[in-house]
Amino acid sequence: MSVLDSIIEGVREDLAMRRLPLAQIREALESAPAVRNVGAAFTGPEISIIAEVKRSSPSKGALAPIEDSGALASRYEESGANVISVLTERRRFGGSLADLDAVRARVDLPILRKDFMVDEYQFLEARAHGADLVLLIVAALSKNQLDDYYQLAKELGMSSLIEVHTHDELERALEISPEIIGVNSRNLKTLEVDPAAFAQLIPRIPESMVRVAESGISTRSDVEFAQEHGATAILVGETLVRASDPELAMRELRGHR
């Protein structure tokens, strides 16, 4: 079993324990906060930063305790982040829907629910808790699931970040003509990082789409490498959650002295 398979197995088990009756989750949808404008978050003159609230990861273990996820997200917003990513997977990343609620209550930026979306219920759940954007990992979904979930997110008013790591996954992603594609330099099946994925895949993404570089970004040179190959946004977690000064860390990533 790959690392990705193991994570998905845990996600399904946890979902089975918290799943609400369909009528109840649909009722929660009725009072969900309005969807924020995701497209506007990626139209600035500088590279956009998706700043992540993440306590731990399968590859690095514990990263930061993050006692108040809303406060951290607020610091990110004040530091110039464009989107806030909130890890809601519990077992490997230490996240929860409570983190999503806390962040939504504290910031005005669009919010990405970053999880392993493998069940229709999770999309209803994401929107009910205020997510504006969801993650669809091509490696975790069949062709039909990718298309169906992309359409479901759209019906609920949410945008989707379509994540790929290989040429084949990128071809599958392009078939649904998404607005946002993320190239993850980390292979989720082995957890190995290969920045060459940026050079190989980002140039093949149409310029009309938002092109996000994910994983392995900790220095200005990493950002420049991604930008040189066409990235218009970066997703950064570990570097920011470990930084004592998120504003300084973001300035350095953008090349501001």
Could you tell me how many helices (H) and strands (E) the chain has, helices first? 11, 10
Taking each helix axis from N to C end, the angle separating 69-78 and 246-254, rounded to the nearest 10 degrees, works out to: 40
Q: Which residues of 41-58 are buried (b: 16+ CB within 10 A; e: fewer)?
A: bbeeeebbbbbbbbbbbb
Helix axes 120-128, 143-155, angle to 10 degrees: 30
Q: Which residues are catalytic?
A: 52, 54, 114, 163, 184, 214-215
Helix ranges (H only) for 129-183 are 143-155, 167-174
Nearest to 131 by CA among 83, 184, 180: 83
Ordered alpha helix ranges (H), the chain = 3-18, 22-30, 69-78, 97-106, 120-128, 143-155, 167-174, 196-201, 220-228, 238-241, 246-254
One-letter identity of residue 245: D
Per residue in 218-232, is it b (16+ CB within 10 Å) or e — as a string? beeebbebbbebbbb
Pairing mode of beta strands 61-62, 56-57 = antiparallel
